[in-house]
C-alpha cells in the first residue's frame, strides 16, 4: 500500500504538487531514492520486447494517416538512407516500446524526440552562442527516462553509422547519462532563477577528456562552424532565400514537392483557421501587449524537411503586422 501511495504521489502529469515544492533539496533527494524500491536502477539496464508488441511496420503505416499521402514515399525514402535516418523517422516505434518500459514515475515536460540531431547552437540577444534543444514541436509531459533513452540510443546508432569503435560509442553514451545525472544533482540545490538562466555556452567549450590537443582542435572546429553559420541566422540572409516579392506583398517561394502553397481542396479551411487562431490569441492578450492587432497573413505553406517530419500536416505561415509606427514581421 505504501508503494502504491508513493507511486500515486509522483505521477501527476509533470506538475509538481504543493507538497513537493515545499520540500528541501535533501528531502527531495531522499524521496527520489525511495522510488528505487519500486523501480530499481537495474530495471533500466536493458530492454525486452513486450509479449504483445505491435508490428513496427504497422505503426509506421498508421502514422501516415495524419500525413500528406503524396509525400509519404519521400519520407520513407529518406528513412531508408541509413539506420540513423530510420531512427529519426521512427519515433512512433520507440514511443510504443518506451510506453511498456518501467519508469520511476517522475514526469517532466519532455522534448518528445530528443535524438542527437535535435540539438544545436543558437544566438542569444547578447550575441552569445548557446547549445540547447532545437525541436520542441512534440513536447509533452512524460517520464524523464524517455528523453534520456531516446538521446543515448541515437548516440550509439550514429556512432555505428560512422563506423566508430563500439567502445567509443559506449563511452559517449555513458558520459551523456553521467552529465545528465550530475546536472540534475546540481540543479536540485540551486535557486529557481539560477536554474532558469543556466546555459551551455559553446564559446567556452571544454572537453571532459582534459587533453589539451583535443580541446584545442574542438574549439577550432567549433569556431569555424560558428563563423560560417552566424551570417545565415540574420534576416538579411534568410529573407531573400525563402521569400519573393510579388506586388505589394511578400510570398514564400515554392520548392515542390516539399514547399508549396496548398489549394483549398488540399487543405480545406487552412487560411481561415490561421485567421481565427490569431484572433483568439489576440483576444487572450492584455491591451498593452496586442502587437498583432492588425496582423495580415501573407503566405501559408506545408514545409517539413526532416526524415521524421516530411509529409506531416504542419503549415507555417508568414505574416506581418502594423502597430502605430512599428512594423514587425514573423514566421
Listed as ranges, residues in the chain with pLDDT below 50 are 1-12, 14, 18, 304-305, 322-331
d(CA 22, CA 17): 9
Query: Mean pLDDT in the chain?
Result: 78
pLDDT of residue 323: 45
pLDDT of residue 6: 41
DSSP β-ladder status, 140-143 and 200-201: unpaired
Cell numbers that stand for 106 in this block: 517522475
d(CA 311, CA 2): 48
The answer to whether 205 and 218 are in contact (CB under 8 A) is yes
The answer to whether 289 and 321 are in contact (CB under 8 A) is no
pLDDT of residue 4: 40
Cis peptide before 257 (omega within 30 of 0): yes
**pLDDT tens digits for 264-311?**
777 777 778 878 888 888 888 777 666 555 555 555 555 544 555 555
Determine if the pTM surpasses 0.75: no
**Helix, strand, coil share (%) of the chain residues, nearest 5:** 50, 15, 35
In this structure, what are the phi and psi dihedrals at residue 226, rounded to the nearest 5 degrees? -65, -45
Hey, is 31 helix, strand or coil?
Answer: helix
HEC string of 141-177 equals EEEHHHHHHHHHHHHHHHHHHCCCCHHHHHHHHHHHH
**pLDDT tens digits for 8-37?**
444 445 455 545 567 888 888 888 889 999
d(CA 100, CA 254): 42
Residues with Cβ within 8 Å of residue 190, at least 6 apart in sequence:
198
Amino acid at each position: 500500500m505504501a508503494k502504491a501511495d508513493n507511486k500515486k504521489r509522483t505521477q501527476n502529469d509533470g506538475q509538481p504538487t504543493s507538497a513537493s515544492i515545499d520540500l528541501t533539496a535533501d528531502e527531495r533527494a531522499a524521496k527520489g531514492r525511495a522510488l528505487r524500491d519500486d523501480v530499481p536502477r537495474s530495471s533500466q539496464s536493458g530492454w525486452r520486447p513486450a509479449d504483445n508488441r505491435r508490428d513496427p511496420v504497422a505503426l509506421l503505416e498508421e502514422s501516415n494517416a495524419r500525413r500528406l499521402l503524396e509525400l509519404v514515399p519521400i519520407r520513407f525514402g529518406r528513412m531508408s538512407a541509413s539506420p540513423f535516418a530510420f531512427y529519426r523517422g521512427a519515433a512512433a516505434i520507440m514511443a510504443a516500446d518506451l510506453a511498456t518500459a518501467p519508469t520511476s514515475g517522475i514526469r517532466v515536460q519532455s522534448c518528445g524526440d530528443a535524438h542527437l540531431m535535435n540539438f544545436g547552437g543558437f544566438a542569444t540577444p547578447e550575441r552569445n552562442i548557446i547549445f540547447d534543444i532545437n525541436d520542441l514541436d512534440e513536447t509533452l509531459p512524460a517520464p524523464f527516462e524517455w528523453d534520456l533513452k531516446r538521446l543515448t540510443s541515437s548516440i550509439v546508432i550514429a556512432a555505428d553509422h560512422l563506423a566508430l569503435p563500439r567502445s567509443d560509442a559506449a563511452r559517449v553514451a555513458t558520459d551523456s547519462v553521467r552529465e545528465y545525472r550530475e546536472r540534475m544533482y546540481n540543479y536540485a540545490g540551486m535557486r529557481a532563477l539560477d536554474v532558469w538562466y543556466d546555459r551551455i555556452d559553446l564559446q567556452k567549450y571544454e572537453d571532459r577528456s582534459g587533453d589539451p590537443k583535443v580541446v584545442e582542435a574542438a574549439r577550432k572546429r567549433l569556431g569555424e562552424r560558428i563563423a560560417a553559420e552566424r551570417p545565415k541566422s540574420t534576416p538579411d540572409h534568410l529573407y531573400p532565400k525563402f521569400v519573393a516579392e510579388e506586388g505589394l506583398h511578400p510570398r514564400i517561394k515554392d520548392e515542390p514537392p516539399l514547399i508549396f502553397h496548398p489549394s483549398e481542396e488540399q487543405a480545406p479551411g487552412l487560411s481561415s483557421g490561421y485567421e481565427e487562431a490569431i484572433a483568439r490569441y489576440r483576444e487572450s492578450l492584455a491591451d498593452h501587449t496586442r502587437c498583432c492587432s492588425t496582423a495580415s497573413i501573407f503566405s501559408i505553406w506545408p514545409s517539413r524537411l526532416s526524415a521524421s517530419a516530411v509529409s506531416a500536416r504542419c503549415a507555417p505561415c508568414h505574416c506581418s503586422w502594423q502597430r502605430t509606427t512599428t512594423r514587425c514581421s514573423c514566421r
